[in-house]
Structure 1
Amino acid sequence: MTQQTHGAPGGRAGRPRIQDTADDLVASVLATAGSRVGTRAFSTRRVAELTGLSQTVVSRAFRRLRRRGAEPAEPPRLAGPLELVELQVAFPRIRVVFGVAEAPAPAAQRTAADRRATALLAALRVAGVGQWAGGSEEVAEPGRERVAPGRLVHEWSPGRDWEAFLDAVAAGLDVAAPSLDAVPGDLLGLLAARVGRGLHGVDWRRDARRAPGETAVGEDPGNDSNRYSDSDQAFGVLSVPEYPAPGSAPERSRSAGRWLPHGELSVTEQIAIALRREIMNAGYRPGDRITAGPLAATLGLSAATVRTAMRRLADDGLLDSAAGGFSVPAVTGADVVDLYAARLHVGMVLLRGVAARPRHRMLPARLALGAVEAAARQGSGADVERADLQFQQELADASGLEQSARSFHALTLRVRMFISVLQLDYTPAAERIVADDRRLLTAVLEGRAEDAVRIWRAKLDNAVRHMSALAPEAFDAELWARLSR
């Protein structure tokens, strides 16, 4: 089989770069759509509107992602329409298993079923798993099938032919039953929630589907890595992953991965996340001492590594350090005003930059806005806060101003720590946050930079007053007015 470029069929020398870019964009949209991918919200027309591409280019991207006309080494040999029964992604192996469909397929579901198949292939494409390096070679040849009783098994590991593996999976989907259950919605939701972190840890089995909260035999009830909920589908993919996938490539996909929210974290950032969780869960208050031992056990790191990272957090003001120990920092009203004034002004620079960027650069921010909306409908106040801050960071990253975006990220880490220390509840503000974020995104998409700045100023004014109401000191309205001009 001829090797193809950028993971899509039909690649050839001289193909216009715009189509490759369009394939990346469309794949990211479909991979993060979850079970809704078969609805009208993800028709070629709606995806064209979302990405700013022409409908013709989007339609071509759909066909290329679906890999129509793929020629696997051997055609599927199972009789009857097929359905997916297993999908596992665990370094260094990917395993996709088809079985014979049990129920007859309603013809009315054919279009939606085909789009679900496209979304599955898109998720495999954009997750970057095809760039894994190293690992065992003791797996079946990709592109060739292994037929177990009533099963068709495709496996891949590093060093094998990735394109042949995708072609083989696409060929299996070609003969899948034209029904929604052939590629179930819970699988698509799980993929949507994990694609931003490389799909590592996905372990879906049709015969092991269970009710939310139910623990399988041998599963650690404290490990939620393989559980899935509606909220995971809605905004899990947009959350910053807390632990990088072991064995995953050091870089995200060089193509489609750049359209997804960023996911690489330093050890210090991982510890900051675990520390915020510890503060929230254990009810720590300002001045309480925190030791490295519990965090080291949680993260599977040495106590020395955690202490080094905690010293960096102390240098950044995220922890207090005295006499060789660490404690939860005090947060005053002046601290809140200072922090938000800095975020206000850096954010103004970023919004003026992002408003001048091409529309397709806003795709991660559009997806992040969907996460904010879903969190407001289905999640907790903490979910709304996390999704809102992620949305803000996606706008910052879309600006192309790397230094300012990096500064904004550092300020956001501090905001998250303040929220943890103050035990803030954003539930009452959820509707306002959604409305502000919608207006903000609309303004930058339409190139109205100064309107975006005005909306941003009002948004932060509301946020700082909310935070300062719970700070130990009274809110200094005069200081805020002076710094936020």
Structure 2
Amino acid sequence: MESISLDRSSVVEQVASALREQLFTGRLKPGATLRESTLVESLNVSRSTVREAMQLLIGEGLLVRVPNKGVLVRQLTEADVEDIFRARRVLELSGVRAVVSASRRDLMALSTSFEAYEAAVQDGGPVEIARTHMRFHAAIVGLLGSPRLTEVAVSMLAELQLAISTVDQSSDDLPEMLQAHRKIAEMIRKAKVEEAVKLLDQHISNAKAFVPASP
């Protein structure tokens, strides 16, 4: 890995941020092993700092610690992908159907999350696009008004961050993807439940088809 320049403030988060950039731009591939010694040298930080940064990313679902193998970039199996998208469909479509009784706060959170995604698509990098994309979908679940279900959605979607980034970057037309999300958000805002359910269901199916998985 080539040398990465860092400032010295919040060094652990700076290291984690640098690694996220490597992950979301595809320089670190799913299944790749992260070697502490290599990171210490390339980032010019202590081994303890590297370990703390990797632990942060493990908590975010981007890395995984495997016995006898060390820390690897998270790689979803076909079974993982199938299960995650099954759960997504249940939670997100339920969120859409709950819009008729959703609180003003949760509706505003959905609007804010879409605006953040829109801004990221127009001006942001792959890390911010993937993060705001994920938050928009979590905000749909948030319409259920259940912090616990929203937390489940956030955790589950975190597992898809790398895959979502891959889909976003491989898309020939990010503005087209943005427009699809804009239409979903609009139908939800207008409480056109069946139209929103149909659009979201199709979007989830399309996204699943592009998610890379190991056998």
| Common fold: TM-score over 0.5 | yes
Cross-structure match for 1:357: 102
Cross-structure match for 1:445: 189
Cross-structure match for 1:278: 22
Structure 2 CA distance for aligned equivalents of residues 456 and 433 of structure 1 = 12
Contact 1:339 1:411 in 2 (8 A): yes
Cross-structure match for 2:112: 367
Contact 1:359 1:445 in 2 (8 A): no
Contact 1:291 1:326 in 2 (8 A): yes
**SS class of match (2:201):** helix
Contact 1:350 1:401 in 2 (8 A): no
Cross-structure match for 1:109: none
Q: In the alignment, residue 388 of structure 1 is paired with which amino acid?
A: H
Q: Deviations over 1:395-423 (max 9, x none)?
A: 33343211110110001110113346x58
Higher relative contact order (CA 8 A, sep 6+): 2
2:161 equivalent to 1:416: yes
Contact 2:65 2:71 in 1 (8 A): yes
Structure 2 CA distance for aligned equivalents of residues 292 and 309 of structure 1 = 14
Cross-structure match for 2:72: 327
Aligned mate of 2:90, from 332, 345, 352: 345
**SS class of match (1:390):** helix
Q: In the alignment, residue 28 of structure 2 is paired with which amino acid?
A: Y
- Cα separation, partners in 2 of 1:374 and 1:300, compared to 1, 3 Å: farther
- Cα separation, partners in 2 of 1:353 and 1:271, compared to 1, 3 Å: farther
Cross-structure match for 2:150: 405
Structure 2 CA distance for aligned equivalents of residues 443 and 414 of structure 1 = 27
Contact 1:353 1:401 in 2 (8 A): no
**SS class of match (2:101):** coil
Equivalenced residue count is 206
- Cα separation, partners in 2 of 1:284 and 1:438, compared to 1, 3 Å: closer
Structure 2 CA distance for aligned equivalents of residues 341 and 448 of structure 1 = 23
- Cα separation, partners in 2 of 1:377 and 1:405, compared to 1, 3 Å: same
- Cα separation, partners in 2 of 1:280 and 1:353, compared to 1, 3 Å: same
Q: In the alignment, residue 408 of structure 1 is paired with which amino acid?
A: A
Contact 2:24 2:162 in 1 (8 A): no
2:200 equivalent to 1:456: yes
Alignment of 1:239-278 (within 5 A): 275-278=19-22
Contact 1:280 1:423 in 2 (8 A): no
Q: Deviations over 1:216-235 (max 9, x none)?
A: xxxxx855x9xxxxxxxxxx
Q: Deviations over 1:250-284 (max 9, x none)?
A: xxxxxxxxxxxxxxxxx9x9987664333345722
Shift of 1:356: 1.8
Shift of 1:328: 2.2
**SS class of match (1:440):** helix
Structure 2 CA distance for aligned equivalents of residues 317 and 373 of structure 1 = 23
Structure 1 CA distance for aligned equivalents of residues 57 and 126 of structure 2 = 27
Alignment of 1:21-40 (within 5 A): none
Higher radius of gyration, 1 or 2:
1
- Cα separation, partners in 2 of 1:301 and 1:450, compared to 1, 3 Å: farther
| Runs of 5+ consecutive residues of structure 1 not aligned to the other structure | 1-220, 226-242, 244-266, 474-485
Shift of 1:286: 3.6
Q: Deviations over 1:27-50 (max 9, x none)?
A: xxxxxxxxxxxxxxxxxxxxxxxx
The structure with more helix, counted as a fraction of residues: 2
Shift of 1:367: 2.6
Cross-structure match for 2:141: 396
RMSD: 4.0
Structure 2 CA distance for aligned equivalents of residues 423 and 440 of structure 1 = 18
TM-score (norm 1): 0.35
Structure 2 CA distance for aligned equivalents of residues 389 and 363 of structure 1 = 17
Shift of 1:440: 1.9
Identical pairs, percent: 19
Contact 1:340 1:464 in 2 (8 A): yes
Structure 1 CA distance for aligned equivalents of residues 53 and 123 of structure 2 = 34
- Cα separation, partners in 2 of 1:301 and 1:452, compared to 1, 3 Å: farther
- Cα separation, partners in 2 of 1:298 and 1:393, compared to 1, 3 Å: farther
- Cα separation, partners in 2 of 1:374 and 1:453, compared to 1, 3 Å: same
